[in-house]
Amino acid sequence: MTFCDKIKANKFIVTSEIGPPKGIDIKEALEDADLIKGKVDAINVTDLQSSVMRLGSLAVCHLLKDRSIEPIFQIACRDRNRLALQSDLLSAAALGIENVLALTGDYTTLGDHPEAKPVFDLGSIELLDVIKTLQEGKDMKGNALKGAPKFCVGAVVNPGADPLEPEIIKMEKKISSGALFFQTQAVYDIELFKRFLDAAKHLKTTILAGIVLLKSAGMAKYMNKNVAGVFVPDSLIKEMEETKDKSAQSIEIAARLIKDLKPLCQGIHIMPIGWDRKVPLVLSAAEL
C-alpha cells in the first residue's frame, strides 16, 4: 500500500524527514533513511532547508526510491520561476516520485547566501494549482503535455498562527487546489493544537502534527522568540533546563507529545533537524 493509498484509506500516517548534505557525500543521509525504513510511511526530503545551499531534494528522492523508500519531494517557490517549477515536477514524475509537498520557502536572508536573489514567481497556493493543471495534462499556459504526471500532493499549515483565521482560509484554498494532506509546524502546546483542530473541523483532509526534537532550553526559547506560531510551554523549557541528559529528555518529550496528539489527528510528522539517528528511538518510545 502506497503512502497515498494509506491516506485515502484513513490509515494513521507517520512521516519523518532527512536533509540533503552540503556536498555530494550522501552516505550518512542514506544511512539515516535506512534506520527508519519500514518504520515510517514516507520520508520528506527538504528543499534547501533554511535557505542553506545543499544537494537537491529531487536527486535525494531518486536515491531513496532506489532503496525502496517512499520519498516526499519538497519543492519550494523561493528558488524557481514557473518554468523551473513545472520542469522539476515533470522530472520528479518521470523518476517515479509520486509524493510532493508544495512550499513557498524560507527567505534567502535566513541562509548562508543572504545576497541570493529570491524568485517567488509563484506562491504555494499557485504552485498547487500548477500541480493540479499538470495532472490534467496541460502546462500553465494550457499547452498539452505528452504524458501527464500523477501526484499525491501535500501542503503545510501553522496551527499556532495568530490570528488563526487566515491560516484556515489558506487551508481551504490549498484543499481546493488539490492538497490531500497537511504537515504542520512544530506542536508543543496540545491545547493550542486543539484550538486549531476546532477551527479546521469543517475541512475534510489529513493532518499530520509536526514534532521537532528539542535539543536544549536555549533552542526552545529561540523558537518562542523567532519562529512565528511556535510556542514551547515554560514547563517543557524547565524540563530541558533541569535535565542532565538532554538527548534522553528530548526523546521523552517528543514521545509524550506524540501520544497526546495521536487521538486528535490523522498522523505525525517528525522533524529531527540534525538528530536523525534519534528518530527510531522516538518511534519506539511513542509506540508507533
C-alpha distance from residue 132 to each of 75, 143, 146, 153 (Å): 15, 14, 16, 9
Q: Which residue has the cell 500523477?
A: 150
**Residue 46 C-beta-side C-alpha neighbours within 13 Å:** 24
Q: What is the pLDDT of residues 245-267, one digit of tens each?
A: 999 999 999 999 999 999 999 99
Exposure b/e, 57-73, CB count within 10 A at least 16 = b: bbebbbbbeeeebbbbb
Mean pLDDT of all residues in 136-145? 98
- Residue 207 near residue 266 (C-beta atoms within 8 A): yes
Residue 288 pLDDT level (bands cut at 50, 70, 90): confident
Residue 277 is classified by DSSP as G
Q: What is the pLDDT of residues 116-134, one digit of tens each?
A: 999 999 999 999 999 999 9
Q: What is the pLDDT of residues 53-107, one digit of tens each?
A: 999 999 999 999 999 999 999 999 999 999 999 999 999 999 999 999 999 999 9
Give the pLDDT score at 154.
98
Residue 195 pLDDT level (bands cut at 50, 70, 90): very high
Per domain, the residue ranges of the chain are 3-213+267-274
Tell me the C-alpha distance between 277 and 274, whole Å. 8
Q: What is the pTM of this model?
A: 0.96
**Which segments of 113-255 are extended strands (E)?**
152-157, 181-186, 206-212
Residue among 174, 250, 185, 247 nearest 214 (CA): 250
Q: Is the pLDDT of residue 145 over 90?
A: yes
The average confidence (pLDDT) of the chain is 97
- Residue 257 near residue 211 (C-beta atoms within 8 A): yes
CA angle 15, 113, 228 (to 5 degrees): 50
Q: What percent of the chain has pLDDT above 90?
A: 98
Tell me the C-alpha distance between 70 and 177, whole Å. 23
Give the pLDDT score at 64.
98
Q: What is the pLDDT of residues 223-237, one digit of tens each?
A: 999 998 899 999 999
Q: Which residue has the cell 535506512?
A: 34
Residues 200/206/212/217 CA torsion (nearest 10 deg): 20
- 3-213+267-274 belongs to CATH 3.20.20.220: yes
Residue 165 pLDDT level (bands cut at 50, 70, 90): very high
- Residue 135 near residue 148 (C-beta atoms within 8 A): yes
Residue 32 pLDDT level (bands cut at 50, 70, 90): very high
Q: Is the pLDDT of residue 48 over 90?
A: yes
